[in-house]
């Protein structure tokens, strides 16, 4: 504390505030009045503070208060939500119900969207699919297969209790193939960065692109497949 500084004298006053009023709450099926603020949506906020140099409250950094009314930290507008399944009350900090409701809901919604995608797809036979595509995608299992032998293995796995998936519910799609490609313009531009300003204009870009395309065609192991959700594949008997 600087010599000559003055610590202000603090006096404590309290006020008793009594308010009588009615609050209308139109509650949904899974809503309840907050038990903490009794539906007001408000609570007392301490708004603590301290005074530099004050030694009258040793060990307490912020001993003083300017209490006021603030928003309830448990609810929104005096209302708490509750889980539609286990009926547990959720507060502001509840993002996932401990009973697993949110996860089950997301799974149901995802399954519904997956089924809509499947229903919209054009259906072809497995035989026609392997004539049209080099690779197929099994959506339920997030698995890519490249021939009918792999399909048979998948079916055998599905028959095991480990998977518990009905073969008739398998959603198999065609795929889109993405092969490696290199843009000659990008290569030449990067190569000419530190050269004179007309270096790029003196490059044979067409010839370079031919060389790059020929090299990329040989990199068969780099081919990558993505699901083609427009074409669904039907197994025999399904």
Q: Are the C-beta atoms of residues 232 and 124 closer than 8 Å to each other?
A: yes
CA distances from 63 to 37, 44, 58 (A): 25, 16, 9
- Cα(134)–Cα(111) distance, integer angstroms: 27
pLDDT in tens, the chain (238 residues): 444 567 777 888 888 888 888 889 999 999 999 999 999 999 999 999 888 877 777 778 888 889 999 999 999 999 999 999 999 999 888 889 999 999 999 999 999 999 999 999 999 999 999 999 999 999 988 899 998 888 888 877 776 655 566 777 889 999 999 989 999 999 999 999 999 989 999 999 999 999 999 999 888 888 899 999 999 999 875 5
Look up the pTM and report it.
0.64
How many other C-beta atoms are found inside a 10 Å radius of the C-beta of residue 146?
14
Largest CA distance in the chain: 96
Q: Are the C-beta atoms of residues 119 and 112 closer than 8 Å to each other?
A: no
Beta-carbon-side half-sphere exposure of residue 107 (alpha carbons within 13 Å): 6
Q: Are the C-beta atoms of residues 173 and 228 closer than 8 Å to each other?
A: yes
How many other C-beta atoms are found inside a 10 Å radius of the C-beta of residue 233?
25
């Amino acid at each position: 504390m600087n010599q000559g500084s003055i610590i202000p004298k603090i006096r404590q006053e309290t006020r008793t505030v009594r308010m009588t009023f009615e609050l209308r709450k139109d509650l949904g099926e899974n809503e309840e009045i907050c038990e903490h603020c009794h539906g007001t949506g408000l609570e007392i906020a301490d708004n603590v503070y301290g005074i530099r140099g004050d030694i009258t409250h040793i060990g307490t950094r912020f001993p003083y208060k300017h209490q006021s009314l603030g928003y309830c930290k448990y609810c929104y507008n005096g209302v708490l939500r509750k889980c539609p399944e286990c009926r547990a009350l959720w507060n502001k900090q509840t993002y996932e119900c401990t009973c697993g409701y949110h996860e089950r809901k997301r799974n149901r919604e995802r399954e519904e969207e997956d089924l809509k995608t499947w229903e919209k797809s054009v259906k072809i036979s497995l035989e026609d699919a392997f004539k049209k595509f080099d690779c197929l995608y099994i959506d339920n299992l997030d698995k890519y297969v490249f021939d009918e032998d792999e399909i048979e293995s998948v079916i055998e796995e599905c028959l095991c209790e480990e998977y518990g998936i009905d073969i008739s519910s398998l959603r198999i799609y065609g795929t889109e193939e993405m092969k490696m490609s290199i843009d000659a313009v990008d290569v030449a531009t990067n190569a000419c960065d530190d050269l004179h300003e007309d270096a790029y204009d003196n490059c044979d870009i067409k010839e370079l692109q031919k060389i790059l395309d020929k090299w990329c065609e040989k990199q068969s192991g780099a081919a990558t497949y993505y699901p083609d959700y427009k074409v669904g594949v039907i197994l025999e008997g399904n």
